[in-house]
Amino acid sequence: MVPCRRSPRSSNPAFCGKATSSDVRSGSPAYGENSDLEQANIMNISDSTIIITGAARGLGAAVARHLGSAGAKLALIDLTADSLDATLSACRNIGADARAYACNVADESAVEQTFAAVVDDFGSFNGLVNNAGILRDGMLVKAKDGEIASRLSLADWQAVIDVNLTGVFLCGREAATGMVRLGSPGWIVNMSSISRAGNFGQSNYSAAKAGVAALTSVWAKELARHSIRVNAIAPGFVKTEMVASMKPEALARMAAGIPAGRLCTPEEIAHACAYLIENDYMNGRVIEIDGGLRL
């Protein structure tokens, strides 16, 4: 990452080389051959080995196809190897070097072994798309006429926290460990959600995704010294296989509340992921891809 340098014309340390017309005419380093912009270390997807969790379907599969089409080598992770068959075939059909790994991202030893296997197979890796996640929606307390009908169970709370937050932590930690040991600059893209602001019936999911956003900021600060960038994407309502199976009237009601008038496609999330990979000055940010929707 290229640091912001103080201008010789300004005592303001926040000045980031904004050039005057005389700078342009004189071929100042701000715009000349040795400019920071030209020296920026732009991450080239086609030169990268990328680990993607939750790659069997939905957003993970779309990201895998998008990055594979750009020439990335792919380490695809999901709970079972069989579930990755479709994504693996799709990526190989477009010419990508892709391999599948079965791993429970909430299991510390399984994560460590899987990342070690990726290094054994590919030699190194450059990035992680921390995407694995599950849903166990339910109201904290559901009551009618003063009678408690149901409560969000501890099991459903813990299952979501284990995968969506602890899994992100374990995979992020292992990715950072590997990059530092290998001396390899790299990046992590975490998958948060606009539900991190709090969404009805999603105590567990909202808490986990808020935690992911916080981890993104913390890790960006801690890992910058190792040339590792960390960003996150916060999708709105995305037309994944699960959502697409809903009744048409339910989909219409969902889309009606979005200013863009439609659901996001998984490919649009994949496009945002590619942007975060290739823009070397993006760090510590959560990018909302939500069509203007605010929860």
CA gap 252, 275 in Å, rounded: 30
40-97 residue pLDDT tens: 455 789 989 999 999 999 999 999 999 999 999 999 999 999 999 999 999 999 999 9
Model confidence at 120, pLDDT cuts 50, 70, 90, reads: very high
What CATH code is assigned to 41-288? 3.40.50.720
Q: Degrees (nearest 5) of the Cα angle 227, 229, 234?
A: 175
Q: Give the active site residue among 101, 205, 275, 281.
A: 205
Domain boundaries, the chain: 41-288
CA gap 92, 173 in Å, rounded: 29
| Predicted pLDDT at 221 | 98
Check: CB of residue 176 under 8 Å from CB of residue 230: no
216-272 residue pLDDT tens: 999 999 999 999 999 999 998 888 886 776 678 777 877 888 889 888 999 999 999
130-183 residue pLDDT tens: 999 998 988 999 999 899 999 999 999 999 999 999 999 999 999 999 999 999
Helix, strand and coil percent figures for the chain, each rounded to 5:
45, 15, 35
281 is known as an active-site residue: no
